[in-house]
């Protein structure tokens, strides 16, 4: 138990130091723009279908559940607004970020871990290049950028999924579904959702690059790095979700009072 605690603290410190290194490299010797775009494109295309599908089902599930709740009050007119707002503010970013941590996070740490255990990273060092500048920085920025795109696409797909289920399952027309969306989904909600996307992407990118870059011990080590990445990103995302919600709440109170 105590060993585990120490290990967790060790990991947090390791990620922080690694981030310091990445930021310093980013400021002093940034990588080229085309490399970042390359990584962004690769990551986005790879996970597009997965995220779109996940988003679609998340929206559909939210609508099914909200239908059961709301119809008890005869307030089906609010269904569209409620489901959309709930998806954009909370459930969408969380579940789609889970999906991304499985897809993007695990893939990146597997790729970097393979590079590490096959000594490609040492080879880069031998050639006189800085591995953080050459391989970590483009991936780090690329993951954050593409998470942004992917989460936006996922949220759009979830709205479509909700709309479809609203028509098929709860039997209300499109106009009825759409009517209350502008009343309930305020710009603040959208900004909250986007801010959450950014925080989740940052957590995901930092953990998966750190775990992949520091993998040791052959094929087994790569497997372990991927498992660790999946677990830690999920925990990190849940904590980040809670923290951002709490911050959002207090900011709202500040403005309302």
Q: Which residues bind another protein (CB under 8 A)?
A: 50, 53-54, 57-58, 60-61, 64-65, 67-69, 73, 75, 78, 82, 85-86, 89-90, 95, 98-99, 101-103, 106-107, 109-111, 113-114, 117-118, 169, 184, 218-227, 230-231, 233-235, 238-239, 241-242, 245-246, 249, 252
Length of the chain: 257
194 near 89, Cβ under 8 Å? no
Q: Which is nearer to another protein, 21 or 90 (CB)?
A: 90
Q: Which is nearer to another protein, 26 or 223 (CB)?
A: 223
138 near 42, Cβ under 8 Å? no
Q: Which is nearer to another protein, 201 or 211 (CB)?
A: 211
The distance of closest approach from Cβ of residue 65 to another protein in the complex, given in angstroms and rounded to an integer, is: 6
The distance of closest approach from Cβ of residue 149 to another protein in the complex, given in angstroms and rounded to an integer, is: 18
The distance of closest approach from Cβ of residue 32 to another protein in the complex, given in angstroms and rounded to an integer, is: 26
The distance of closest approach from Cβ of residue 158 to another protein in the complex, given in angstroms and rounded to an integer, is: 11
| Whole-angstrom distance, CA of residue 112 vs CA of residue 117 | 9
Q: Which is nearer to another protein, 89 or 139 (CB)?
A: 89
Q: Residue 151 burial (CB < 10 Å; 0-12/13-18/19+)?
A: buried
3-state secondary structure the chain: CHHHHHHHHHHHHHHHHHHHHHHHHHHHCCCCHHHHHHHHHHHHHHHHHHHHHHHHHHHHHHHHHHHHHHHHHCCHHHHHHHHHHHHHHHHHHHHHHHHHHHHHHHHHHHHHHHHHHCCHHHHHHHCCCCHHHHHHHHHHHHHHHHHHHHHHHHHHHHHHHHHHHHHHCCCCCHHHHHHCHHHHCCHHHHHHHHHHHHHHHHHHHHHHHHHHHCCCCHHHHHHHHHHHHHHHHHHHHHHHHHHHHHHHHHHHHHHHC
Q: Which is nearer to another protein, 17 or 182 (CB)?
A: 182
The distance of closest approach from Cβ of residue 34 to another protein in the complex, given in angstroms and rounded to an integer, is: 25
The distance of closest approach from Cβ of residue 250 to another protein in the complex, given in angstroms and rounded to an integer, is: 11
The distance of closest approach from Cβ of residue 117 to another protein in the complex, given in angstroms and rounded to an integer, is: 5
Q: Which is nearer to another protein, 40 or 109 (CB)?
A: 109
Q: Which is nearer to another protein, 31 or 103 (CB)?
A: 103
């Amino acid at each position: 138990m105590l060993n585990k605690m120490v290990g967790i603290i060790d990991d947090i410190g390791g990620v922080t130091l690694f981030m310091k290194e990445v930021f310093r490299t980013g400021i002093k010797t940034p990588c080229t723009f085309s490399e970042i775009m390359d990584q962004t494109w690769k990551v986005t295309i790879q996970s597009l279908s997965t995220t779109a599908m996940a988003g679609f089902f998340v929206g559909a599930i939210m609508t099914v559940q909200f239908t059961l709740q709301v119809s008890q009050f005869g307030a089906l007119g609010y269904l569209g607004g409620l489901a959309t707002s709930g998806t954009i503010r909370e459930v969408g970013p969380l579940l789609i970020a889970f999906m991304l941590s499985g897809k993007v996070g695990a893939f990146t740490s597997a790729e970097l871990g393979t590079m590490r255990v096959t000594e490609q990273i040492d080879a880069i060092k031998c050639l006189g290049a800085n591995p953080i500048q050459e391989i970590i920085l483009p991936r780090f920025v690329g993951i954050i950028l593409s998470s942004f795109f992917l989460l936006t696409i996922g949220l759009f797909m979830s709205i479509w999924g909700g709309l479809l289920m609203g028509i098929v399952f709860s039997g209300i027309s499109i106009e009825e579904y759409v009517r209350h969306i502008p009343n309930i989904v305020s710009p603040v909600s959208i900004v909250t959702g986007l801010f959450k996307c950014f925080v989740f992407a940052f957590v995901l990118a930092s953990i998966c690059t750190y775990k992949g870059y520091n993998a040791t011990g052959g094929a087994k080590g790569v497997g372990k790095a991927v498992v660790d990445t999946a677990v830690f990103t999920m925990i990190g995302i849940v904590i980040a979700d809670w923290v951002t919600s709490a911050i959002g709440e207090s900011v709202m109170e500040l403005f309302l009072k």
